[in-house]
Protein backbone atom coordinates (compact mmCIF):
# COMPACT_ATOMS: atom_id res chain seq x y z
CA UNK A 1 0.00 0.00 0.00
CA UNK A 2 1.25 3.41 -0.83
CA UNK A 3 1.58 5.99 1.94
CA UNK A 4 -1.12 8.29 0.61
CA UNK A 5 -3.68 5.49 0.77
CA UNK A 6 -2.75 4.84 4.41
CA UNK A 7 -3.35 8.49 5.25
CA UNK A 8 -6.64 8.46 3.37
CA UNK A 9 -7.69 5.33 5.25
CA UNK A 10 -7.04 7.25 8.48
CA UNK A 11 -9.38 10.05 7.26
CA UNK A 12 -6.61 12.50 6.34
CA UNK A 13 -7.26 14.98 3.59
CA UNK A 14 -4.65 15.38 0.90
CA UNK A 15 -2.25 18.21 1.62
CA UNK A 16 -2.78 18.09 5.39
CA UNK A 17 0.36 17.56 7.44
CA UNK A 18 -0.09 14.21 9.24
CA UNK A 19 2.12 15.30 12.15
CA UNK A 20 -0.24 18.17 12.99
CA UNK A 21 -3.36 16.14 12.31
CA UNK A 22 -2.29 13.42 14.75
CA UNK A 23 -1.11 16.07 17.26
CA UNK A 24 2.42 14.68 17.44
CA UNK A 25 5.75 16.36 17.04
CA UNK A 26 7.29 19.26 18.91
CA UNK A 27 4.78 21.23 20.95
CA UNK A 28 4.51 22.22 24.60
CA UNK A 29 3.73 19.55 27.12
CA UNK A 30 1.76 21.20 29.89
CA UNK A 31 2.79 18.55 32.42
CA UNK A 32 6.44 19.65 32.24
CA UNK A 33 7.99 21.39 35.23
CA UNK A 34 8.51 24.53 33.17
CA UNK A 35 4.78 25.06 32.78
CA UNK A 36 4.11 24.22 36.42
CA UNK A 37 6.64 26.87 37.43
CA UNK A 38 5.05 29.46 35.13
CA UNK A 39 1.61 28.60 36.56
CA UNK A 40 3.03 29.06 40.07
CA UNK A 41 4.34 32.51 39.16
CA UNK A 42 1.03 33.35 37.47
CA UNK A 43 -0.88 32.45 40.66
CA UNK A 44 0.73 35.40 42.49
CA UNK A 45 -0.55 37.95 39.94
CA UNK A 46 0.95 41.44 39.97
CA UNK A 47 2.21 40.99 43.53
CA UNK A 48 4.90 38.69 42.18
CA UNK A 49 7.01 35.99 43.76
CA UNK A 50 10.63 36.06 44.87
CA UNK A 51 13.38 34.04 43.23
CA UNK A 52 13.95 32.08 46.44
CA UNK A 53 10.25 31.18 46.67
CA UNK A 54 10.37 29.86 43.10
CA UNK A 55 13.40 27.74 44.01
CA UNK A 56 11.60 26.45 47.12
CA UNK A 57 8.50 25.58 45.05
CA UNK A 58 10.64 23.54 42.67
CA UNK A 59 12.53 21.85 45.47
CA UNK A 60 9.67 21.04 47.83
CA UNK A 61 6.61 20.74 45.57
CA UNK A 62 7.96 19.40 42.28
CA UNK A 63 10.89 17.30 43.56
CA UNK A 64 9.56 16.26 47.00
CA UNK A 65 12.62 17.65 48.85
CA UNK A 66 15.25 15.04 47.90
CA UNK A 67 17.88 16.37 50.34
CA UNK A 68 15.62 17.10 53.31
CA UNK A 69 13.96 20.21 54.71
CA UNK A 70 17.14 21.99 55.83
CA UNK A 71 18.42 22.56 52.29
CA UNK A 72 17.42 26.24 52.30
CA UNK A 73 18.46 27.12 55.87
CA UNK A 74 21.18 29.68 56.49
CA UNK A 75 24.58 28.21 57.33
CA UNK A 76 27.90 29.71 58.28
CA UNK A 77 30.73 29.09 55.92
CA UNK A 78 33.85 30.60 54.49
CA UNK A 79 33.83 33.06 51.64
CA UNK A 80 36.27 35.51 50.19
CA UNK A 81 36.19 39.28 50.61
CA UNK A 82 37.42 41.05 47.51
CA UNK A 83 37.47 44.29 49.48
CA UNK A 84 39.71 42.92 52.24
CA UNK A 85 41.51 40.41 49.99
CA UNK A 86 41.13 37.71 52.63
CA UNK A 87 38.82 34.85 53.62
CA UNK A 88 35.89 35.78 55.85
CA UNK A 89 33.11 33.91 57.63
CA UNK A 90 29.69 34.61 56.14
CA UNK A 91 26.11 33.26 55.97
CA UNK A 92 24.82 31.47 52.89
CA UNK A 93 22.01 29.14 51.78
CA UNK A 94 22.96 25.67 50.62
CA UNK A 95 20.29 25.81 47.90
CA UNK A 96 21.33 29.23 46.62
CA UNK A 97 21.98 28.19 43.02
CA UNK A 98 19.30 25.51 42.77
CA UNK A 99 17.85 25.41 39.21
CA UNK A 100 19.60 28.73 38.53
CA UNK A 101 20.61 28.08 34.93
CA UNK A 102 17.14 26.89 33.96
CA UNK A 103 15.42 29.81 35.66
CA UNK A 104 17.68 32.70 34.72
CA UNK A 105 19.69 31.28 31.84
CA UNK A 106 23.21 31.85 30.58
CA UNK A 107 24.83 34.33 28.22
CA UNK A 108 23.79 32.18 25.24
CA UNK A 109 20.28 31.12 26.27
CA UNK A 110 17.61 32.90 28.25
CA UNK A 111 15.98 30.96 31.06
CA UNK A 112 12.30 30.78 32.01
CA UNK A 113 12.29 34.02 33.99
CA UNK A 114 14.06 36.15 31.40
CA UNK A 115 11.92 34.69 28.59
CA UNK A 116 8.42 34.83 30.07
CA UNK A 117 8.53 37.02 33.16
CA UNK A 118 9.46 40.52 34.25
CA UNK A 119 10.35 42.08 37.57
CA UNK A 120 7.87 44.39 39.27
CA UNK A 121 8.83 47.49 41.25
CA UNK A 122 9.48 45.37 44.37
CA UNK A 123 11.97 43.18 42.50
CA UNK A 124 9.68 40.13 42.42
CA UNK A 125 8.98 38.06 39.31
CA UNK A 126 5.61 38.47 37.52
CA UNK A 127 4.43 36.44 34.53
CA UNK A 128 4.61 38.64 31.44
CA UNK A 129 3.29 36.23 28.82
CA UNK A 130 2.62 32.52 28.50
CA UNK A 131 4.41 30.45 25.80
CA UNK A 132 2.70 30.09 22.45
CA UNK A 133 1.34 26.70 21.40
CA UNK A 134 4.11 25.91 18.89
CA UNK A 135 6.92 27.44 21.00
CA UNK A 136 9.58 25.19 22.53
CA UNK A 137 9.98 25.62 26.27
CA UNK A 138 13.07 24.18 27.91
Pick the more confident residue, 12 or 72.
72
Establish if 12 belongs to a structural domain.
no
Taking residues 107-121, report their average pLDDT: 88
pLDDT at 138: 61
- Name beta bridge partners: 80: 87
pLDDT at 11: 59
Q: How far is CA 65 from the centre of its chain?
A: 17
Name the 3-class secondary structure at 25: coil
Establish if 92 belongs to a structural domain.
yes
Work out the mean pLDDT of the chain and round it to a whole number: 76
pLDDT higher than 60, residue 68: yes
What is the residue range of 59's domain?
17-127
Establish if 137 belongs to a structural domain.
no
Total domains in the fold of the chain = 1
pLDDT higher than 70, residue 67: no
pLDDT at 103: 85
Q: Using the CB atoms, write b or e for 11-26: b if 16+ within 10 Å.
A: eeeeeeeeeeeeeeee
pLDDT tens-digit series, residues 12-46: 556 666 666 655 555 556 677 888 899 999 999 99
Amino acid sequence: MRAMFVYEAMNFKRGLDPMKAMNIGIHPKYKFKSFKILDFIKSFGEEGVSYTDIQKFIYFELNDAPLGNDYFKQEKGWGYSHKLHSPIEKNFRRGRGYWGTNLYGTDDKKGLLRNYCRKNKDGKWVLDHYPQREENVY
